[in-house]
A and B are shown apart, each in its own frame.
Chain A
Amino acid sequence: MNYEMTLGLEVHTELSTNTKIFCNCTTEFGGDPNTHVCEVCSGMPGTLPLLNRSVVDYAIKTGLATNCSITQYNKFDRKNYFYPDLPKAYQISQLYLPICQTGYVEINSADGSTKKVRIKEIHMEEDAGKLIHDPWEDCTLVDYNRCGVPLLEIVSEPDLCSAEEAIEYLEKLKAILEYTGVSDCKMQEGSLRADINLSVRPVGQAELGVRTEMKNMNSFKAISRAIESESKRQIELLEEGKRVVQETRRWDDNKGMSYAMRSKEDAHDYKYFPEPDLPPIEISDAHIEDIRGTLPELPEQKKQRYMNELGLPEYDTGILTNSVHLVALFEKTAEICGNPKDAANWIMVELMKLLNDSGTLPENISFDDSSLGKIIVMLAKGKITRDTAKKVFAKVFAENIDPEQYVKDNNLAVMTDNTAIKSTIEQVLADNQKSVDEYKGGKAQALQYLIGQSMRALRGQAPAQEVTKILKEILG
């Protein structure tokens, strides 16, 4: 029997506002435990939350960028449960009136057509603290630094059908979030995480299967592996005539398997009710338009423009526009060297190789963004050879050297002084009398040998045609 998979994703992204959602503590990542905490975000008795204006604006911006309608009158609700990382024993979230609804993100389907992955809603909520398991003592330590950091939860409809589609959706969503500047999307720091809701059913069956949930996944590779593994596990269960249990599972990426989490009692009764401490939010048409005016060119638009105006191929533009960091580098480089095709090529080939070989992410590129452009200009002007250009770029990537200075300091420029070239060649000829005689005696390969020797002596700093020309002149 053939089975098909139905997937929905709930993506949590930490917003890059300066302060937390309900107080003025910093949202800076890291820091000594409990040093970014105040009486409000640690849930001291008598304290009250106060909404961060920027969080609302970032939420609206995200909604507009994902084609959502903005819920102009929206409010907060309390989600009540007990866990040490939740100091008030409730999370302030939005259940009844989320700020954005019914949007979509377009991805490419397996057959090449585009597919709209519908977004059910986007809502604002607060992040919880961190639990640190003490390795020496049988206890857990609680750090509230992250408590109150603003989150947007982006909930998709179950429109995804495979791990590939899920990853593409996530990449597209991540790009949109980075472009709008609402989040830095640093998955390794936890500012972008996804919960996976997955079920399988026999092909042709209308009713959806029982779904399971895997929470807080924070790497694309792990997500992909988890989806493959879970769908396989569910299919196996069904083939054995067993039933899939609706549960939350934990994915262990090291072991490559998931296991059921111990179910919390009353885990599903969150006793939601409207948050009495926060007044509702009313968003005017004018304010929505103001925010719309701040939207940058979004990934899809940019991709089309690169293809149409700059004549770049679709595959390349796809990869390029998926990362706001690559786009920034590309646009700067193209601006400096005046040749977008060249710029794109260097990024797609040389830079990607360097990134992949060193396992670096585009967001961690640490070299000056004008360096690549300068290298391409030097190459175009004939000041350096292509070989040299690649080597210099590798140095720029690794050590952020100034390319022009480096070329100068290491005498890597193509030699333009013919006198110097000529004198070097004359020295080579003097040292290789035998080959000279052979050439003059009619042996053509001797010339190749002499060219090779001359190039070596010139350390590749003279173009081959020039060397050949001068050699022939001298030899007659």
Chain B
Amino acid sequence: MSIDFLKMTALELAKKIQCGEIKVRDAVDAVYNSIDNYDSTYNCYISTCKEQAYKKADEVQAKIDSGNIASPLAGVPVSVKDNICTKGITTTCASKILENFKPTYNATVVERMEAADMIIVGKLNMDEFAMGSTTETSHFGATNNPWDINRVPGGSSGGAAASVAASEAVISLGSDTGGSVRQPCSFCGVTGLKPTYGSVSRYGLVAFASSLDPNGPVAKDVADCAALFEIISGKDAKDGTSMEFPKFDFSKVLDGDVKGKKIGIPSDYLGEGISPDVKDAILNAANELQKLGATVEEFPMPIVKYAIPTYYIIACAEACSNLSRYDGVKYGYSSPVAENLKETYIKSRSEGFGMEVKRRIMLGNFVLSSGYYDAYYKKALQAKKLIQASFFEAFEKYDMLLGPVAPTTALKKGESLSDPLKMYLGDIYTVMINIAGLPAVCVPCGFDSNNLPIGLQLIGKPFDETTIMQTALGFQKATDFVKNPELIKGAAK
């Protein structure tokens, strides 16, 4: 049964495809069959691109048949968050304002995946313009958590995490501006990586907050994430903020050696606001890591308190500027009732954007407006410096930091939408990492009393994805938290 292919990891599937046991077309069929069966329940996908996918599948099959394959993920179907530009394939950012937009070019990450002979099969649901933590602000309806369809999968890369969890995707690519890969991974019990800022090209990622946005892989396990990271990362001449960095050591990751690693837990992460189940899971994970040979200890990091204000000021400011180009003139939705230029702008944007986007645009305009710039935006950039310095200080003592990803497990649907501030506060553990530009990997580390997944994150030094993924893989090998939701009561079939 081809859907069983989707129980394998991407690397396992790739091996079977590359040795001829499974045909590329069959792997692609498996994904589309799964989508046909399950997506009406989970709503992970905004669109699929069957024509292009099968065409590419045939090309890659021909290469495999003639022995011309080099990439470890060649032949593997991959699903991509709908804010990543795919040439000729609609890229909507889950917004009405880009509902029919077809980019005229491919994002660099897409070019790299295609050059590695991966097959893009579909575009994944997300919060509108990546603004949100629940994938409920999507113009195309909310995505449901495969562990409990009355709960959110997290956001904004909800589609990316839910599709892997529900076996509607083999591996996917999301984006993480303030936790948008890690938090859905935590809520959906899958593995995800937020890479160091500048290690993965942003060219073709529809911008939300330019100084915070990278793309990140979402997969069943650390090895898959590492394999995809290796393919998409590296300096890109088209992205002025992308950087050269020491080569990522994939084989080192695979040895999963945790011995001798010095791990710190910011005690402010375990303070007020965290649910007891999550706290227990993190402390258990700490024990586990110690058993594997690491030293783990808590340390104070009081600046955690200022993470959310700093993040929201910077993110909303950059976002309101980045979203100004959606004006009904060059692409996207243009209001049919506009009678003059002013109305073209106002009506297209008011009718095209959802409420969360509008709120953040207004907040962004506020913090940038003259008179408030110094008190808010400039202040936030100063706080950013202090936050980064705080991490660098910790890294003098520790190789990496350990912490929860979210204060709770997956929330019920509708809970967050009416109280935006409450939703923002849920980002408290993740946004700091984006502000500092650091890498972080999220792996499942437990379940709460409702059998909902809990994730931990390991935060690394700049460009040190190798060390955190090596540790995460070691943790994953020694524990058994990677599970399929269909085994758990409540997941629909």
Contacts and interface: CB of A to CB of B under 8 A. Distances in A.
Interface in A268-326: 268-269, 271-274, 276-279
A142 B329 contact: yes
A48 interface: yes
A39 B211 contact: no
Interface in A83-115: 84, 87-90
A273 B317 contact: yes
Nearest to A84: B329
Given A45-B91, A46-B204, A46-B207, A277 B377 contact: no
Contacts of B449: none
A274 B318 CA distance: 10
B321 A45 contact: no
Contact of A277 (B241, B370, B373, B381): B241
B85 A45 contact: yes
B89 to A, nearest CB: 13
A271 B211 contact: no
Interface residues of A, number: 31
B383 to A, nearest CB: 15
A51 B241 CA distance: 12
A411 interface: no
Interface string A126-137: 000000000000
Contacts of A47: 105, 203-204
B193 interface: no
B370 A269 contact: yes
B418 interface: no
Interface string A42-56: 111111111100000
B239 interface: yes
A45 B332 CA distance: 10
A203 to B, nearest CB: 35
Q: Say whether chain A's binding surface is mostly helix, strand, loop, or mixed.
A: loop
Nearest to A80: B321
Interface in B444-469: none
A87 B206 CA distance: 15
Contact of A39 (B83, B104, B210): B104
Contacts of B91: 45-46
Given A48-B239, A80-B321, A42 B345 contact: no
Q: Say whether chain B's binding surface is mostly helix, strand, loop, or mixed.
A: loop
A118 interface: no
B210 A84 contact: no
Interface string A408-422: 000000000000000
A318 B287 CA distance: 85
Given A50-B240, A276-B211, A279-B240, A45 B325 contact: yes
A82 interface: yes
Contacts of A44: 103-105, 330-331
A201 interface: no
A43 B93 CA distance: 16
Interface string B198-230: 000011111100110000000000000000000
A90 B84 CA distance: 22
29 contacts: A42-B330, A45-B91, A45-B325, A46-B103, A46-B203, A46-B204, A46-B205, A48-B238, A48-B239, A80-B321, A80-B368, A82-B324, A82-B327, A82-B345, A87-B330, A89-B321, A90-B324, A271-B320, A271-B365, A271-B368, A271-B370, A271-B373, A272-B368, A273-B368, A273-B377, A274-B381, A276-B211, A276-B318, A277-B210
Given A46-B205, A272-B373, 15 more contacts: A44-B331, A47-B105, A47-B204, A48-B202, A50-B238, A78-B321, A89-B324, A268-B370, A269-B370, A271-B373, A273-B317, A273-B318, A273-B373, A274-B381, A278-B240
Across the A-B interface, give the 9 residue pairs with the lowest CB-CB distance, nearest first: A89-B324, A271-B368, A276-B210, A276-B211, A45-B206, A46-B204, A46-B85, A46-B206, A43-B325
